[in-house]
Amino acid sequence: MNISGQLEALLFVAGNEGISLEELSYLLNHSTASVYEAIEKLNKRYENEECSGLHILEVGNQFLLSTKKEAAELLKKYAQSPISNHLSQAALETLSIVAYKQPITRSEIDEVRGVQSSGSIQKLVVRQLIHEVGRVEGPGRAILYGTTEFFMNYFGLKDINELPSVTDMEEKLNEEEPMDLFFDRFKAVLGSVETTKTDPDSLKQAADENPAQETIDNDI
C-alpha cells in the first residue's frame, strides 16, 4: 500500500477527532514535509474525482476525513430518514458507555468496547444524543463527549443520576444467564475491567418505559 492509501486508512480510523501531522509522520516513517505533500495530493484527488464524496479538513494542527459540502442535503436526509431512525447494537453500546462514563474520549470508548467506535460516535452526534463537552488538556486535545439535553428528554430522564445503578445491574447480570452474545461479552467486560461497568440494555429499558418516546431497535 502506498502512502496515499496509508493516509486514507489512518484518517478514517482517526474519525472526527482527526490526527496531527506529527503523528502521521511518526506512524508513516516519513518527514512532516513529505506527509503534508501527500495529504495535499490525496485531497486534490478527492476534489477532482466526482465519484468521491470525501475531502480532508485541516483544523489547527489536526487533519480529518470529512464529506464534501455537496453531500450535505443527502446526509441531512439520511439523518432524518425514518428507515435509519433506529440505533444499531454498536451505537447503543457506545451511547451507554458515554452516558455512564462521561466525559469520555473516543479512544477511551474504543478501549472499553475493544473495537473502533468513530462511526457510532458520528451517528450519535448527528442524532444529537451526544456532543462535544470539552477537550483533553495536552497533545492532540482529544474531544470529550457527553450526553445532550435531547438524550435526557428522549429517555425521559430529569437527571443523569436517574440512570439505573451499575451495582444493581451487575448483580442482576450475575444472577441471570443472558442468551444474547452481546450480553455474554458485556458480562466478561464487567469481570475484567473494574472501572468500566455499563449496561447498554438499561437505556433500551428506559426508552421502553417512557411511552412518549419512540422505542429504539438495537438489533444488529
* DSSP-based three-state secondary structure for 199: coil
What is the structure's pLDDT at 196?
44
Taking only the tens place, the pLDDT of each residue in 146-168 is: 999 888 887 778 888 888 776 66
CATH number listed for the domain at residues 86-208? 1.10.10.10
Q: Name residues whose C-beta falls within 8 Å of residue 123's C-beta, 6 or more positions apart in sequence.
A: 87, 88, 91
Taking only the tens place, the pLDDT of each residue in 24-48 is: 999 999 999 999 999 999 999 999 9
**CA-based torsion, 190, 195, 201, 205: positive or negative:** positive
| 173 or 6, higher pLDDT | 6
* DSSP-based three-state secondary structure for 80: helix
| Separation between Cα atoms, residue 128 and residue 119, nearest integer Å | 14
Average pLDDT of 50-54? 91
- Burial classification of residue 182, based on how many CB atoms lie within 10 Å of its CB (0-12 exposed, 13-18 middle, 19 or more buried): middle
Kindly state the cell numbers that stand for 169: 445491574
What is the structure's pLDDT at 199?
52
| 177 or 98, higher pLDDT | 98
What is the structure's pLDDT at 190?
46
Taking only the tens place, the pLDDT of each residue in 66-93 is: 888 888 888 777 766 654 557 788 888 8
Percent of the chain at pLDDT above 70?
71
Domain 3-70 fold = Arc Repressor Mutant, subunit A (1.10.10)
| Separation between Cα atoms, residue 150 and residue 152, nearest integer Å | 5
- Please, which contacts does 59-63 make with residues 24 or more away whose CB atoms are closer than 8 Å? 59/18, 60/141, 61/20, 61/21, 61/22, 62/17, 62/18, 62/19, 62/20, 62/140, 62/141, 63/11, 63/18, 63/19, 63/20, 63/21, 63/24, 63/39
Delimit the CATH 1.10.10.10 region(s) of the chain.
3-70, 86-208
111 closest CA partner among 185, 193, 170: 193
Half-sphere exposure of residue 9, counting CA atoms within 13 Å on the CB side? 8
| Separation between Cα atoms, residue 10 and residue 66, nearest integer Å | 13
Asked if residue 214 has pLDDT above 50, the reply is no
